[in-house]
Structure 1
Amino acid sequence: MKRISHWIAAAALLISGAAAQAEPVTLDIWTIDRPDQYMYLLKDEFEQAHPDIKLNIKTVQFRDMVNDLARATATGESPDVTYIDNPEVALFASRGLLLDLTPMLAESKIIKKDDIFPGPLSSVTWDGKIYGVPRGANTIALYYNADMFKAKGLDPDNPPKTWDELYAAAKKLNDPANNIYGLAFSAVATEEGTFQFLPWLQMAGGDYNKVDTEGGVKVLDFWSKLLDEKLASPDTLIRGQFDSTGTFNAGNAAMAISGPWELPRMGREAKFEYRAALLPVPQEGAARASALGEGDNVILANSEHPKEAFILLEFLYGKMPDVWNRFGFLPAAKVQSNNPNTPAIYAVFEESMKYARNRGPHPEWPKISKAIYTAIQSSLTHQSDAKTALATAQKQIDAVLND
């Protein structure tokens, strides 16, 4: 009887051990997505494909992600996988806080490093190693309300191509009596303001490390003109891109500068014909530029489940052919988009990607970006003239770059 009891006890241990082993791994995920966006929408698909892995998703505001993640890594409470905006991968990788994915990528049958476009690939590369996988790519362009163009006698087949044409169109489309601004864009004091400003600066001959230029002054003077003449709403200075595009969707702005990530929402909200065009250039024949946006999925170095976390990254990468239609991202790799919705707008953003430039990368990018968006705010609120604001920013940027 004793022997049988031992056998039963041993069997019970084996069964309980098997049950414990069968418990799914839970990955903590941080994202900037809302519940109707990317990570949340792919959660069920992933868990069905991988029933042994569960996702615990938390939304962190875009503007808070860097600080919240820095605090979490310091206290040992960081997630397994998180979204990081592409210029900030260098910040965390240089401090040893991200898992080096290079060995995993070398073995992956799903993610091929050579298929990732150079811009997105450089955004996840630091010191010769790869620390993230792009979830897509984006850039910015000029959306415009074709119905308003027709009503004001403008040709919707011939949208503004230069800054002068953009100003003239905004002035003609501006309709204060009906609460309609000519143009909506974001000059907010966050990374989004820097993101929208840099292409204008680059088209005018500057860059993130060379802001104190004649071209930079021209950009800020032009933006000031739009605000001072109320062709753009005063809250341009405090609105992010989501809110400024919401103004366009609601019919309270005739044009808007934003990215393809807005298209799913635009398709639901905009009750008019909307189109897109490349960002206008300073003058005919000038070099083009646009911003390289969207972020990367990274694994934190202290994750207890790196294998499962990488399985998630592979799964998300495998969705690249569908990201345009579902989420408004452009593919970040050499894949064919599946019958892209709004093909004319898709073609505009695909063309714009040819001119998209990285922000950085630099391990102290947040300091560089802050210097830039502080100068923008200082100039547009007339606390200082554009030249003085950009000269101050240049000194701060030089101190970072020469440190």
Structure 2
Amino acid sequence: MNSFSRQCRLTAASLAVMTVAAGAAACSSGSGGTSTKGPGSGTYAVWDPYPQFDKTSAWAKLLDQCGTKAGVKIKRTAFDTSDLGNKTLLAAQQGNSPDVLIVDNPVVSTLAEAGVLTTTDDTKLVTSKVDPNLLAAGQSGGKTYGTPIGANTLALYYNKKVLKQAGVDIASVKDWNSLTAALAKVKQAGKKGITFSAIGTEEGSFQFLPWFWGSGAKLTALDSSQGVSALTLWKDWLKNGYAPNSVLDNTQTTSWQEFASGDYAFAENGTWQLAGAKKAGFDYGVLPIPAATGGNTAAPTGGEFVTVPVQQDTGRYATSEKLVTCLTSADSLYDTDTTLSYVAPTSEVQDKQVAANADLKPWVDAVKAAKGRTSDGLGTTYPKISEQMWKAVQSALSGSKSPKDALSAAQSAAK
């Protein structure tokens, strides 16, 4: 499943709505997580954003197995990602939260700030094996709220045949200058350069972030010279015909369809397209997105966190911790992350994944360099910043503003 196709529906606006959703209509009856029985027995509620998996799926069976190990029954409810955050806030207001909540990582800080989630100190959940850069997406105010179940991120897919015809050695692509030089050769050879998504939604920000961070820019200063250089890079690619004007409207899905046509040298896309890449009918490779002056840039992490919402009966936390630990154990992570096309959040399981599928090696490298969108202490301020970022990208690429003016306006609005 394309994980980000679920995430990209969580726009900045919908995230902002979550903070006031407690005043909206009550959620449907029977979906909460409390039990009339004491802690450590009875039924424990698990909410997840995987409605594509029914009760016969490996995921549902894993939940039941973890419940059996903990001595409880599992009542699972699956929501579309765009609904899950609001449902969680409403349930918390009613004192009817699920025992375990699996939620997109950008939403964790919003729920934490609203007082909905416990910390790992509350539940005694051990997260020492999790890669710190992935765990950071669920940290706010010096506290950790849950643990990642897996991660995906962005990299560059490339068409080996197109590059060969253009006389481009992929080993030469190490920074922005060498990538742009490769695109020029591809165009000269009569082929198309690179496609990506610059649509005016969170999806556009998600795709721009590797270049923004790769310039050395920070989200607290959108209009820095580094940030301007990143947006200028994209603008120049369009101006020189290295990228199509369709990127302004491209989702990651339509961008992928362009690459799958076989005419493009590069496409920025995610781990979730691996299955599609194998079906495309041409030899491809994967390259971590280069930073401006070389090395792998930080790309944003996608994926969910397994969290424990606050309960009136704190005695339930011990069993909830057992459930979370089971779901995120090495064996469970390997199976689950394979199903979800995720890279595991621990080196132990990542090594196992690469041993089973060498195609995952560049993705593991990319995930190790990745960063949460709400990291760097941004928390709930990220959605507002992101909205101004994607508006700036749209303004600059459409030609209505220069990259510098677009980002200056974005920074003023973000404040």
Instruction: Mark the runs of 5 or more structure 1 residues left unpaired by the alignment.
Output: 1-19, 107-111
Shift of 1:380: 1.6
Q: Residues 261-283 of structure 1, C-alpha deviation per residue, up to 9 Å, x if partnerless?
A: 3324433x322222111213324
Of 259, 273, 289, the match for 2:298: 289
Q: Helix, strand or coil for the counterpart of 1:183?
A: strand
Q: Mark the CA change 1:69 to 1:170 in structure 2 (over 3 Å): closer, same or farther.
A: farther
Q: Deviations over 1:257-315 (max 9, x none)?
A: 12323324433x322222111213324x5784333332312233369976665444223
Q: Is the 8 A contact 2:95 2:312 kept in 1?
A: no
Q: How does 1:293-372 map to 2 (within 5 A)?
A: 293-301=302-310, 309-318=320-329, 319-322=332-335, 325-336=338-349, 337-340=351-354, 344-361=358-375, 362-372=379-389
Give the conservation status (yes or no) of the 8 Å contact 2:165–2:189. no
Distance change >3 Å, CA 45–CA 67, structure 1 → 2: closer
> Cα–Cα, structure 1 residues 65 and 47, in superposed 2: closer, same or farther, change >3 Å?
closer
Gaps in structure 2 of 5+ consecutive residues: 1-36
Equivalent of residue 64 in structure 2, options 30, 43, 47: 47
State the match for 1:383 in structure 2: 400
**2-structure distance, mates of 1:173, 1:83:** 43
Distance of 1:299 and 1:73 partners within structure 2: 12
1:225 Cα shift? 2.6
State the one-letter code of the partner of 1:281: A
Q: Write out per-residue CA displacement over residues 115-159 of structure 1, whole angstroms, 9 at most, x where no aligned residue.
A: 12212222222234322210123332211111322243333x526
Q: Deviations over 1:307-347 (max 9, x none)?
A: 66544422321222345544332221242332526855433
1:215-239: per-residue Cα shift (whole Å, max 9, x none)? 2222212212333444334332233
TM-score normalised by the chain length of structure 1:
0.76
| Alpha-carbon separation, structure 1, partners of 2:391 and 2:352 | 41
Q: Using the TM superposition, give the Cα deviation of residue 163 of structure 1 relative to its aligned residue in structure 2, in angstroms.
A: 2.1
1:29 corresponds to which residue? 47
1:92 and 2:103 aligned: no
C-alpha displacement at 1:92, in angstroms?
1.4
Q: Which residue of 1 aligns with 2:198?
A: 187
Question: Which stretch has the larger CA shift, 225-234 or 372-381?
Answer: 225-234
Tell me if the contact between 2:289 and 2:296 (Cα under 8 Å) persists in the aligned partners: no
- 1:307–1:243 distance in 2 versus 1, CA, 3 Å: farther
Residue in structure 2 matching 1:58, options 62, 70, 78: 78
Q: How does 1:3-402 map to 2 (within 5 A)?
A: 25=43, 27-31=45-49, 33=50, 35=52, 41-48=58-65, 50=67, 52-61=72-81, 66=85, 81-106=100-125, 112-155=126-169, 157-158=170-171, 160-173=173-186, 181-251=192-262, 253-267=264-278, 269-283=279-293, 285=294, 288-301=297-310, 309-318=320-329, 319-322=332-335, 325-336=338-349, 337-340=351-354, 344-361=358-375, 362-397=379-414, 399=415
How big is the shift at 1:93?
0.2
Alpha-carbon distance change, 231 to 339 in structure 1, aligned in 2, over 3 angstroms: same
RMSD: 3.6
Q: Offset at 1:82?
A: 4.0
Deviations 1:12-43 (A, max 9, x none): xxxxxxxx99x973635231x46269x96411
Taking a change above 3 Å as real, the CA distance of residues 69 and 224 of structure 1, as seen in their structure-2 partners, is farther
Look up the match of 1:7: none
Decide whether the 8 Å contact of 1:119 with 1:292 is kept in 2.
no
Is the contact between residue 202 and residue 390 of structure 2 (CA under 8 Å) also seen in structure 1?
A: yes
Which AA in structure 2 matches 1:340? V
Deviation per residue, 1:26-64 (Å, 9 max, x gap): 635231x46269x964112332553553454434256x6
State the SS of the aligned residue for 2:345.
Answer: coil
Task: Tell me the distance in 2 between the aligned counterparts of 1:341 and 1:55.
Answer: 35
Q: Which has the larger radius of gyration?
A: 1
1:13 maps to what in 2?
none
Q: Which amino acid aligns with 1:389?
A: A
